[in-house]
């Protein structure tokens, strides 16, 4: 959406708020595959690729065990799917060369963002305790956006995770809500958006 504003602007567009995004899908998928407990996300992404392009060969992406559980994607919520796929990770979840399936690879590339300039300011928020989308991935996305000349205000938050799990971890949306809302209010008030690009470029 933010990138599209450069070529197809919407009247009244003021900017974008992005929280711990799966913006660069290849490293995001690799992280999901390697992290225990996140197995359900990969079949959801792969199924999305199949719906987008029916030529996508899921048998070349998912392991036999992951394929057997695939029918549950049509009827179960994320919590139930996460429980089903909880024990699958690494080669237990995907084929060893899963990123080489050409239609899946094209899907990941087509749905990755951050390499083209945004058509307005971007507030990018990331928790350093996020296991679903690690901070290192979002660091690279922020740097890529800055290289395009985009106005990026990138803020990281100690101890915040991807989602709030009561009694365990606070997610980025909850933990950074006050700053998020203040940024949005500034846009509606007509105040100029700040950028952290130069500041981060000068960091050792």
- Average pLDDT over the chain, rounded to whole? 91
The reported pLDDT for the residue numbered 93 is 97
Whether residue 173 contacts residue 164, with contact meaning beta carbons closer than 8 Å, is answered with: yes
From its phi and psi, is residue 15 left (phi > 0), alpha (psi between -120 and 50) or beta?
left
Q: Is the pLDDT of residue 8 over 90?
A: no
The reported pLDDT for the residue numbered 25 is 93
**Residue scoring higher pLDDT (187 or 199):** 187
Summarize pLDDT for 17-39 with one digit per residue, the tens. 999 988 899 999 999 999 998 99
Q: Which of 152, 178, 116, 110 is nearest to 18 (CA)?
A: 152
Summarize pLDDT for 98-145 with one digit per residue, the tens. 999 999 999 999 999 877 888 899 999 999 999 889 999 999 999 999
Summarize pLDDT for 77-96 with one digit per residue, the tens. 988 999 999 999 999 999 99
The reported pLDDT for the residue numbered 177 is 95
The reported pLDDT for the residue numbered 166 is 81
The reported pLDDT for the residue numbered 204 is 42
Can you list the domains of the chain with their CATH numbers?
A: 4-24+114-201 (no CATH), 25-110 (1.10.260)
Mean local confidence (pLDDT), 188-197: 95
Whether residue 122 contacts residue 21, with contact meaning beta carbons closer than 8 Å, is answered with: no
DSSP state letters, 20-70: S---SHHHHHHHHHHSTT-TTHHHHHHHHHHHH-TT--GGGTB-HHHHHTG
CA distance 21 to 154: 12
The reported pLDDT for the residue numbered 155 is 96
């Amino acid at each position: 959406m933010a990138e599209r504003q450069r070529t197809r602007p919407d009247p009244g567009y003021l900017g974008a708020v992005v929280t711990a995004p799966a913006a660069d899908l290849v490293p995001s998928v690799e992280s999901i595959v390697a992290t225990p407990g996140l197995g359900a996300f990969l079949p959801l992404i792969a199924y999305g690729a199949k719906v987008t392009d029916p030529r996508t060969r899921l048998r070349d992406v998912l392991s036999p065990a992951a394929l057997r559980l695939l029918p549950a994607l049509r009827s179960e919520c994320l919590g139930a799917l996460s429980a089903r796929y909880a024990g699958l990770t690494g080669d237990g979840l995907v084929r060893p060369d899963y990123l080489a399936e050409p239609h899946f690879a094209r899907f990941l590339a087509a749905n990755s963002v951050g390499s083209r300039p945004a058509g307005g300011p971007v507030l990018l928020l990331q928790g350093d305790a996020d296991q679903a989308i690690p901070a290192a991935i979002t660091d690279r996305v922020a740097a890529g956006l800055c290289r395009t000349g985009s106005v990026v205000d990138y803020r990281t938050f100690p101890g915040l995770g991807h989602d709030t799990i009561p009694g365990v971890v606070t997610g980025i949306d909850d933990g950074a809500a006050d700053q998020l809302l203040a940024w949005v209010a500034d846009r509606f008030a007509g105040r100029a958006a700040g950028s952290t690009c130069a500041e981060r470029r000068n960091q050792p």
